[in-house]
Amino acid sequence: MPTLASVSDDRPFMQLAPCHIRYLTMNDLHRDVRDAWLQSAFYMVEQHTFVDLETRFLSIAEQDYETLIIGGNDPVRAARFLRINRPILARKVKFALMHGSLASKRAKALNAGFDDVFDSARMSPEEAAARCTAILSRYRAAASQARAEQELASSLERIAHLHLLGKRERQLLTLLANRLGEPVSHYKLRTELSQGNDELSYNYLKVLASNLRAKLKAPYVLVPGGQGSYKISSL
């Protein structure tokens, strides 16, 4: 069950940052030590006993979570668990928690797909919280980028037949679609399409525009925008 820190806790502020943590703990020799250390590192932990081949505690049908921590000194069991549940855990931050571990065991955990390994006998709770926050931030940034790219692809798909577009044509479409119905100057288009390389020629831009024009979906058309510009409009 989730465990909350009391209002009077003296734990550092960093421990409050990583939320939505699900913790699966193996019932082995150092379980009590690991569990107590984890509670001192993080503000809220939803704790369950680790069971091989059990997937119920990973389902997002229960309370959702962003971070999974598996506690135990058996990296083989933990690695097998990750491998079996790889599709479910693809976008979850994953940590192994050990106590007095050997470097070889920590290496096995990292090779199995854990993002990091905590050792309750070697690492301070503050360091663990800081590491978790940093890695979680990278996951969130990657997820945000993936959503933005998916939204952009969906938007572009409404305007053009994307599977027919070359790389430069898609770049041109993106630049024009971001200002749909508004003129974008030839200079800006050439500069953006050059991407720091030799400036794209005006004739090449005309060829790209002509090719893109033939691959737009009705009712969208690519037309001159006046004063040396192009725009995509809807008829």
- Token pair of 28, please? 């082995």
* pLDDT top residue among 16 and 110: 110
On whether the pTM is more than 0.75, the answer is no
Please determine, for residue 190, whether its predicted confidence score (pLDDT) is greater than 70. Answer: yes
With bands split at pLDDT 50, 70 and 90, how would you rate the model's confidence at 207?
very high
With bands split at pLDDT 50, 70 and 90, how would you rate the model's confidence at 161?
very high
Mean pLDDT of the chain: 87
Report the distance separating Cα 41 and Cα 60, nearest Å.
24
Residue 231 neighbours by CB distance under 10 Å: 17
What phi and psi, each to the nearest 5 degrees, are found at residue 106?
-65, -40
Positions of CATH 3.40.50.2300 in the chain? 2-147
pLDDT confidence of residue 44: 81
Please determine, for residue 167, whether its predicted confidence score (pLDDT) is greater than 60. Answer: yes
What is the DSSP code (8-state) at residue 28? Answer: S
Q: Which secondary-structure segment (H or E) carries 130?
A: helix 125-159
176 touches 183 (CB < 8 A): no
Percent of the chain topping pLDDT 90: 68
* pLDDT top residue among 114 and 151: 114
Positions of CATH 1.10.10.10 in the chain? 160-234
pLDDT confidence of residue 232: 95
| Sequence letter at residue 233 | S
Report the distance separating Cα 94 and Cα 117, nearest Å.
9
| Of 84-88, 101-105, 165-169, minimum mean pLDDT range | 84-88
The label of the residue with tokens 């800006």 reads 188
Query: What number is the average pLDDT over the span 38-55?
Result: 87
> How many secondary structure helices (H) and strands (E) does the chain include?
8, 9
pLDDT confidence of residue 61: 52
87 touches 54 (CB < 8 A): no
User: Rounded to the nearest 5 degrees, what angle is found at the Cα of 82, between the Cα atoms of 131 and 105?
Assistant: 65
71 touches 33 (CB < 8 A): no
| Of 16-20, 109-113, 136-140, minimum mean pLDDT range | 16-20
- Classified by CATH at the fold level, domain 2-147 comes out as Rossmann fold (3.40.50)
Q: Could you say which of 3.40.50.1010, 1.10.10.10, 3.40.50.1820, 1.10.630.10 is the CATH number of the domain covering 160-234?
A: 1.10.10.10
By three-state DSSP, how is residue 163 classified?
A: helix
